């Protein structure tokens, strides 16, 4: 007992402080940027390999469609840029153009993987650079990279032709340059004599931010919201906010009247500056959006085709609404819940919780305009997605909160991945602020999250959506039939209904007649035998409505074609004289 009571012996390892400092210096001076580049390429390649071997690259129906669009531009029966269509924004498809030309890359989906993988690698580099810029700590920046790059949902999505990785890339790039623009602008505001060099940078960063916002606006509609928010913030940062706050503090309720009387303290010089920078940003950033309106107007005859047509997301939501399975529409708390849990499951529950704490700590420790603006930019996707769900423009089903009586529990879950950059940044910032023991705990949390994926507690929901959710491509017997029996000739089908999987059935794209092939399509709707050797009809699709449901055209169908395949939903006809 006496022995137990006395001071216990301890084990000690003693190292000279100089040696520690040497190791520390060596560690900090490692070529972290190159390490990030190497790891990002390595992770991307391994993930693509795994995805390819398991057939996950083209698991999503949308991924296949994203491959088909650029393929039609180069290999369709009527090739050309008009094949871009008017619903999905064009930039990801244009980026895939050089790769889809190579048949093997198109058939395996690797054409999309190359674009998304490259987007992932550059995103990793710029996440690193963004956090380095905020903290000036390479280790913190590396932590942000790890959180971003080791996310299994992100790793999966960057193997596919889906457009999220491309949007994330331009979102991060625009955010990075916009953050630098904000930082230097706020710094310059404090200086009496602004150095010319700093002004030059202010201008340069804004142009870069605008350019990448322009790219984002041509990648996904989320980018439009980014452009809008950034353009408002361009005005905001030049306003004399401190004077407003001071007026509010001192005059309280009288402050608005005083601000109006004083013309919001905006002098001639400030007004000119705001005007100049806003125009500079807007001309570049909004031009993508404007181009899209013009494109839809010229090619499809309606500038609002992307939102008004039968193929738009909005039109698709109407079907859910009729089934009373659109719980988020016009219900802000439910919209918020859906995207909150969607972000959580994409980011990882532990990482998400810690990054929320990181956001709070960052704001509380940096109670300045810059911190608020920076945080706002990163959470733009959250605001956008809540808004679109509230408006009924998009739908997400997630098993966490989708009512049990709904037919589908997983749909569009991948939208939540757009919050990953924010989560990675705020996780890293919390890591930066904590002392050694806190840093150790965050490392444990990170490993815990990986463990939770490992034991199956957390599912890789983006993958589940592609393999078992509503977003999964339908592999039907009709695919197998066409793969086996298709020899040559043109195939008439409604590609939007995805009645036959073009990629997996090995039908050459130049042999497909779909709604975008004029004059082949409209002629075939009246004279189906004119061009097509094969006709694939799915119940209620365009071919069904225009041929099968019209007695006279149906008569021609049976006159010239044999029905060679029948299933409850799909019929396949082959021309008799073939």
Return residues touching another protein (CB under 8 A): 4-18, 20, 337, 341, 345, 349, 357, 361, 364, 399-401, 436-438, 440-441, 444, 452, 455-459
Looking at residue 8, what DSSP letter applies?
Answer: P
**Alpha carbons 168 and 394: distance in angstroms, whole number:** 18
Per DSSP bridges, beta strands 570-575 and 532-538 are antiparallel
Residue 438: count other Cβ atoms within 10 Å of its Cβ.
12
For the CB of residue 192, give the shortest distance to another protein in the complex, in Å.
29
CB nearer to another protein: pick between 358 and 516? 358
CB nearer to another protein: pick between 199 and 365? 365
| Phi, psi values for residue 397, rounded to 5° | -115, 130
**Alpha carbons 539 and 171: distance in angstroms, whole number:** 40
For the CB of residue 245, give the shortest distance to another protein in the complex, in Å.
17
Whether the CB-CB separation of 44 and 121 falls below 8 Å is answered with: yes
For the CB of residue 152, give the shortest distance to another protein in the complex, in Å.
13
**Alpha carbons 535 and 524: distance in angstroms, whole number:** 10
Whether the CB-CB separation of 377 and 178 falls below 8 Å is answered with: yes
For the CB of residue 337, give the shortest distance to another protein in the complex, in Å.
8
CB nearer to another protein: pick between 249 and 322? 249
Whether the CB-CB separation of 457 and 477 falls below 8 Å is answered with: no
Distance of CA 150 to the CA centre of its chain: 17
**Alpha carbons 178 and 213: distance in angstroms, whole number:** 9
Whether the CB-CB separation of 121 and 41 falls below 8 Å is answered with: yes
For the CB of residue 305, give the shortest distance to another protein in the complex, in Å.
37
Classify burial at 521, counting beta carbons within 10 Å of its beta carbon; exposed 0-12, middle 13-18, buried 19 or more: buried
**Alpha carbons 269 and 420: distance in angstroms, whole number:** 40
CB nearer to another protein: pick between 18 and 577? 18
CB nearer to another protein: pick between 20 and 298? 20
CB nearer to another protein: pick between 12 and 487? 12
Token reading at 275: 């005007």
For the CB of residue 381, give the shortest distance to another protein in the complex, in Å.
20
Per DSSP bridges, beta strands 570-575 and 561-566 are antiparallel
CB nearer to another protein: pick between 323 and 365? 365
CB nearer to another protein: pick between 269 and 456? 456
CB nearer to another protein: pick between 364 and 566? 364
Task: Encode burial over 450-477: b for 16+ CB neighbours within 10 A, e otherwise.
Answer: eebbeeeebbbbbbbbbbebebbbeebe
Per DSSP bridges, beta strands 490-492 and 570-575 are unpaired
For the CB of residue 331, give the shortest distance to another protein in the complex, in Å.
16
For the CB of residue 444, give the shortest distance to another protein in the complex, in Å.
7
What residues does 261 pair with on adjacent strands?
none
For the CB of residue 382, give the shortest distance to another protein in the complex, in Å.
17
CB nearer to another protein: pick between 436 and 577? 436
For the CB of residue 458, give the shortest distance to another protein in the complex, in Å.
5
């Amino acid at each position: 007992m006496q022995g137990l009571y006395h001071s216990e012996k301890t084990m000690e390892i003693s190292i000279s402080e100089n040696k520690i400092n040497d190791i520390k210096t060596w560690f900090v001076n490692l070529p972290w940027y190159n390490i990030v580049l190497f790891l990002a390429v390595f992770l991307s390649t391994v993930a693509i390999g795994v995805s390819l071997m398991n057939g996950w690259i083209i698991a999503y129906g949308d991924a296949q469609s994203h491959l088909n669009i650029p393929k039609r531009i180069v290999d369709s029966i009527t090739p050309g840029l008009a094949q871009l269509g008017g619903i999905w924004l064009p930039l990801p498809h244009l980026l895939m153009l050089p790769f889809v030309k190579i048949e093997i890359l198109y058939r395996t989906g690797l054409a999309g993987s190359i674009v998304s993988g490259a987007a992932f690698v550059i995103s990793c580099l710029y996440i690193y650079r963004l956090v380095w810029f905020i903290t000036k700590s390479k280790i913190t920046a590396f932590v942000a990279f790890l959180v971003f790059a080791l996310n299994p949902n992100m790793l999966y999505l960057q193997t596919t032709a889906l457009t999220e990785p491309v949007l994330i890339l331009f979102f991060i790039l625009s955010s990075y340059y916009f953050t630098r623009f904000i930082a230097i602008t706020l710094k310059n505001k404090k200086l009496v004599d602004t150095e010319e060099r700093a002004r030059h940078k202010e201008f340069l960063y804004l142009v870069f931010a605008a350019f990448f916002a322009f790219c984002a606006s041509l990648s996904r509609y989320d980018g439009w919201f980014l452009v809008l928010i950034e353009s408002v913030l361009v005005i905001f940062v030049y306003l004399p906010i401190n004077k407003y706050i001071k007026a509010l503090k001192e005059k309280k309720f009288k402050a608005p009247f005083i601000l109006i009387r004083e013309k919001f303290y905006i002098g001639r010089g400030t007004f000119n500056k705001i005007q100049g920078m806003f125009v500079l940003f807007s001309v570049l950033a909004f031009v993508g959006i404007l181009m899209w309106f013009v494109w839809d107007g010229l090619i499809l005859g309606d500038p609002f085709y992307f939102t008004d047509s039968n193929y738009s997301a909005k039109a698709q939501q109407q079907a859910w609404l009729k089934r009373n399975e659109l719980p988020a529409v016009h219900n802000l708390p439910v919209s918020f819940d859906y995207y909150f849990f969607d972000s959580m499951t994409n980011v990882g529950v532990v990482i998400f919780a810690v990054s929320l704490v990181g956001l709070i700590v960052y704001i509380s420790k940096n109670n300045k305009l810059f911190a608020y603006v920076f945080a706002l930019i990163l959470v733009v996707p959250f605001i956008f997605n809540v808004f679109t769900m509230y408006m009924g423009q998009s739908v997400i089903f997630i098993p966490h909160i989708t009512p049990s009586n709904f037919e589908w529990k997983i749909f569009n879950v991948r939208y939540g991945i757009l919050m990953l950059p924010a989560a990675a940044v705020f996780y890293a910032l919390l890591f930066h602020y904590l002392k050694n023991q806190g840093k150790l705990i965050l490392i444990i949390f990170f490993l815990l999250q990986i463990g939770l994926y490992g034991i199956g507690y957390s599912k890789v929901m983006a993958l589940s959506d592609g393999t078992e959710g509503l977003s999964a491509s339908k592999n039907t017997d009709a695919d197998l039939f066409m793969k086996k029996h298709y020899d040559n000739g043109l195939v008439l089908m409604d590609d939007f209904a995805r009645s036959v999987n073009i990629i997996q059935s090995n039908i050459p794209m130049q042999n497909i007649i779909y709604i975008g092939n004029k004059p082949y399509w409209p002629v075939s709707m009246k004279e189906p035998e004119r061009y097509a050797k094969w006709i694939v009809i799915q119940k209620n699709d365009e071919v069904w409505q225009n041929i099968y449901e019209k007695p006279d055209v149906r008569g021609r169908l049976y006159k010239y074609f044999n029905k060679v395949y029948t299933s409850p939903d799909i019929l396949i006809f082959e021309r008799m004289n073939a």
